[in-house]
Copies of this chain bind each other. A is one copy, B any other.
Amino acid sequence: MSLNLRAEVLLKTLIERYIADGQPVGSRTLARQAGLELSPATVRNIMADLEELGLVSSPHTSAGRVPTELGYRVFVDTLLKVRPLDSSEVRKLKGELMTPQDTEHLIGSASQIMSKISKLAGIVMVPRRDEKAAFRHIDFIGLSGQRILVILVTDDGSVHNRIISADRKYSPSELEQAANYFNDAYAGISLGKVKRMLLNEIQQAGEDMQRIVHLAVHMARQAIDGEREETEDLVVSGESNLMEIPDLGDIHKLRKLFDAFNTKRDLLHLLDQSMRAGGVKIFIGSEAGYEVLEDCSVVTAPYSADGEVVGTLGVIGPTRMAYEHVIPVVDITARLLSAALSLQGSESGHLETPRQ
């Protein structure tokens, strides 16, 4: 892909222009806009070259050129200069994310603020650190019948609750004993480890363990197992912004996209991919491999808590989006969210004696 300087400049101006107003751009316009002293005819020759390389295409014979996905790819990879964020926007971001709030709200705020600033849809994967987060506290509370409410608190300050059915009814004091046993025995241990320990305990001990211990172990196991599903989740905001974008005018495609927002599976998978690579990543149109994302691009960045990557967030919009603006928004949101989450982690696991 060796483009000479002139061709690069022209491709860049073409894409910028096209992003700005969505019209195919012709040789005359391009010649004037590019700042090079070239005639439209010369530009036409170069456009023919670019078309051969698969970087641009024309919707029909007499309609100017439009970037292809490959064209966008080259653009974002080599030609794009991201412009630093407006200080007012940075302030907005900080204001939204630096106020203390629990993880759930934080995620929601991040998603919303991204969608508000970019005028597109914001997506945030909920953090996946259950396996690593340390167990902090558990509570068993009896409901009607044999149902028991289990509240599980991890070291990072997140709370999960779940209703399970027990084998019989338990008295409040039995439940309290069970909780005490569990809190004493497992405080400070990572959830992943707790899970393995529970499995062992169940297999080995068989019937001869104390009733209370038995109860605690089984209930906790159900609660921790249940977490897995719940945590595979995604927060989407500002979907409706996408409805005003003429590029996505096809109601049918739009509907499929919205369904994807609700199903979440595909998007989660996509976000999962970009968890590994550090920094901002961009998926253009069909690159992502999902049909629903046709004509869409996704700009993602991983975020971390306490120095470890725990999730991904991003913005989703039409392929024709203002990348130079969206990229820094996603980037900075990821950084701010990381900071907020790291602040939030409990110190007590390391610095203080675990609560008993």
Contacts of A279 in B (CB 8 A): none
User: In the bound complex, how far is the Cα of B157 from the Cα of A255, in angstroms?
Assistant: 37
* A37 contacts chain B at the CB level, 8 A cutoff: no
Most B Cβ at <10 Å: residue of A243, A254, A262: A243
Contacts of A149 in B (CB 8 A): 102, 153, 157, 159
Chain A binding surface SS class = mixed
Contact string against B for A residues 242-272, beta-carbon threshold 8 Å, 1 for contact and 0 otherwise = 0110000101101100110110000000000
Q: Can you name the residue of chain B whose Cβ is closest to the Cβ of A137?
A: B141
Contact string against B for A residues 336-355, beta-carbon threshold 8 Å, 1 for contact and 0 otherwise = 00000001111110001111
> Contacts A144-B345, A159-B159 hold; do A243 and B254 have CB atoms under 8 A apart?
yes
Tell me the number of copies of this protein.
2
Contacts of A343 in B (CB 8 A): 144-145
How many A residues touch the partner, as a band?
35 or more
Interchain CB contact under 8 A, A165 and B100: yes
* A45 contacts chain B at the CB level, 8 A cutoff: no
> Contacts A151-B153, A346-B143 hold; do A251 and B244 have CB atoms under 8 A apart?
yes
User: In the bound complex, how far is the Cα of B148 from the Cα of A153, in angstroms?
Assistant: 13
* A176 contacts chain B at the CB level, 8 A cutoff: yes
User: In the bound complex, how far is the Cα of B243 from the Cα of A141, in angstroms?
Assistant: 43
Contacts of A354 in B (CB 8 A): 172
Contacts of A211 in B (CB 8 A): none
User: In the bound complex, how far is the Cα of B223 from the Cα of A159, in angstroms?
Assistant: 15
* A161 contacts chain B at the CB level, 8 A cutoff: yes
A: residues with CB less than 8 A from B are 100-102, 136-137, 139, 141-145, 147, 149, 151, 153, 157, 159, 161-163, 165, 171-173, 175-176, 237-240, 243-244, 249, 251-252, 254-255, 258-259, 261-262, 343-348, 352-355
